[in-house]
Amino acid sequence: MRKKVRKVYWLILFSLIIIYSCQEEEREFFIEDNIPTDSELAKVMQKVVTHDGSFDDIVDGGNCYSINLPYTLLRNGNELVIDEILDYQQLLPSDDIQIQFPVMITLHNHEEKLVVDNSALEFLANTCLSNDADIECIDFVYPFKLSLFNTNTNSISTIEMGHDSQLYKFMLEIDDDILVSINYPIGLTLHNGENTSATHNIELLNTIMGVANACEEND
């Protein structure tokens, strides 16, 4: 009987050691591949997923927001419906453009706002920086997954990212007790349409920084 009890004891102890070792390995993995919210990688990732509002500056004059499609404007007195980005190629700087309000806009943080007149739009345009903070030359390929390690409960979970707005909000609201790592590899699309990928944090940071200034505004 004592031998059986002793055997059970050692089995339990052995199991606990294995569980503890696995938890320590998982913790070390997350510490090594963690992306702290104040890290350079976290900052450039947020710039990549910041909403680019520069593509319609010829109409709204502000690079930190864009007008949601579709909407109507008057170009030199003639009505024109803008329902795709290619429609902006029809416009010239010399055109007399009048937006038909109200319109919905998307801000740099992906929040939407109703604008009812030109004064309100001009006020927003004056809040934009001359050099916007977003990185336009590279985009993430969705979906991809993030692994989360809760340092309070030692629990692991996974969340799937499906859009820039989702990732922007997640990075803005992530709790300090959560360690975040990317489930590599992660796909990336360059401004020229070329596809690439990264397999670890350093490679991802270098890839983003390597093309951050490779394209001009409105590319």
pLDDT for 151-184, tens place per residue? 899 899 999 999 999 999 999 999 989 999 999 9
196 has which bridge partners? 188
Q: Which of 8-12, 74-78, 104-108 has the lowest mean pLDDT?
A: 8-12
Question: Span 45-67, mean pLDDT?
Answer: 95
pLDDT-derived band of residue 31, with 50, 70 and 90 as boundaries? low
Q: What's the CA gap between 66 and 168, in Å, rounded?
A: 17
The answer to whether the CB of 170 falls within 8 A of the CB of 135 is no
Contact 145, 159 (CB under 8 A): yes
% of the chain with per-residue pLDDT over 70:
83
* Helix (H) or strand (E) run with residue 125 in it: helix 118-127
pLDDT > 80? residue 37: yes
